[in-house]
Structure 1
């Protein structure tokens, strides 16, 4: 792995589509362990030594959960000013804790093979950011109506967004980011992470690293949760 040793883990959203399984999405169990536990363990296995967890909805519950055990990496929390605002606001909530440091940016509700975290971290942020992409179009774990799609040009992002056409890859939700992304987000009145990526892509500063051989799943609703359960149970068998 390169010099990236810090992760920013976004865990601020309401997760309304999983409300039947857990009051808080980060605490939703998958194969007997909350999603946030899977994420923190995976980051540590990938070689990260520090995680900044951005909280919002039911933050106190998650803070209490984090405080109850020791973790294999240093864990600290920050709170987004308003979890109902776009996820770029949550990214910016970690800015002071990062203090200009590059980081691996990940989503708490994405169950990810640790090797994927490690590959993106090793790729580094380049001139702005690097996104882990998956070119397995039509993969049964992907919800085509919800996934963020990516159109690439060589090793760069050409376009990104939900409902994008045409596209040649999926956004895995794992990025290596530098200060340039935070600077781009601060220029937006209601910053979405995807909009910040678009700004850097327009400047040729948003790269990609192919992670098509590594597994991940966005655990956003009951069908995805069932697929994630089956995956983790099979791994443990």
Structure 2
């Protein structure tokens, strides 16, 4: 069954983009806020519902979401922006029954990538969209989360990981197993949750190397994203 609910993480402080927007989810790319790119992209991929996890600047972002023309039903959960991002995932868990697509509001993503993960499902734990185009010009090698795989399974994940054979795109198909794994951790980050499932052999991959995506985390990445949006075929 194709996943129809998404979790969108949007709680962080976004300090590296503060010169472009006071709150990262409202930073505009191609004249459109990042949070709107995320929600409209999920809708274009066929998802019907999104749980958006807010933290830093949540009042302004709530107001923005309330003014949106609905392309997808939106519910809001909240998390402390000072805590690891796994806490945000757990904040959304109460709003989710079964599987969900997990994504980041600061990633611009080809809707086809979302659709592929939604169709793949979470398997026995989770599935992560990975990109094998190492050295891609849109990827910051100092900031990207790297992945080492064995067949269709994740065997290691982390920033600065060597050796690695793929990049983490920030889009996952997840189920209760991830929420349970995060719940066992004292300081639950998403990466640590993936490591728990990888150790159990239940963290798998979906190759999305043919799909475009970019993590808009700082001014250089924002400039690259603006260039992408200026292309005629851009979403």
Give CA-to-partner distance per residue, 1:90-137, whole Å, 9 cap, x none.
000001111x32000000000000000000111100000000000000
2:204 equivalent in structure 1: 207
User: C-alpha displacement at 1:236, in angstroms?
Assistant: 5.7
Distance in 1 separating the partners of 2:203 and 2:68:
37
Counterpart of 1:93 in structure 2 is 91
Match of 2:143 among 138, 143, 146: 146
| Separation in 1, partners of 2:183, 2:71 | 32
Deviation at 1:49, TM superposition (A): 0.3
Counterpart position of 1:70: 69
Alignment of 1:1-237 (within 5 A): 2-80=1-79, 82-98=80-96, 100-235=97-232
Distance 1:3 1:192 in 2: 26
Per the normalisation by structure 2, the TM-score is 0.98
TM-score w.r.t. the length of structure 1 is 0.97
CA distance in 1, matches of 2:136, 2:69: 36
Q: Work out the CA distance in 1 between the residues paired with 2:68 and 2:188.
A: 34
C-alpha distance in 2 between matches for 1:31 and 1:14: 22
Whole-angstrom distance in 1 between the partners of 2:23 and 2:202: 35
Q: Is the 8 A contact 2:145 2:158 kept in 1?
A: yes
Distance 1:235 1:113 in 2: 14
CA contact (8 A) 2:2 2:120 kept: no
Q: Distance in 2 between matches of 1:70 and 1:34?
A: 13
Distance 1:194 1:235 in 2: 35
How far residue 3 of structure 1 moved from its aligned partner, in angstroms, is: 3.0
Could you list the structure 1 runs, at least 4 aligned residues long, displaced by more than 4 angstroms after superposition: none
Give the deviation of 1:70 after TM superposition: 2.2
Secondary structure in structure 2 of the residue aligned to 1:106? strand
Q: Deviations over 1:16-75 (max 9, x none)?
A: 000000000000000000000000000000000000000000001000000012221111
Distance (Å, rounded) in 2 between the aligned partners of 1:59 and 1:195: 26
The total of aligned residue pairs comes to: 234
Which consecutive residues of structure 1, in runs of 5 or more, have no partner in the other structure? none
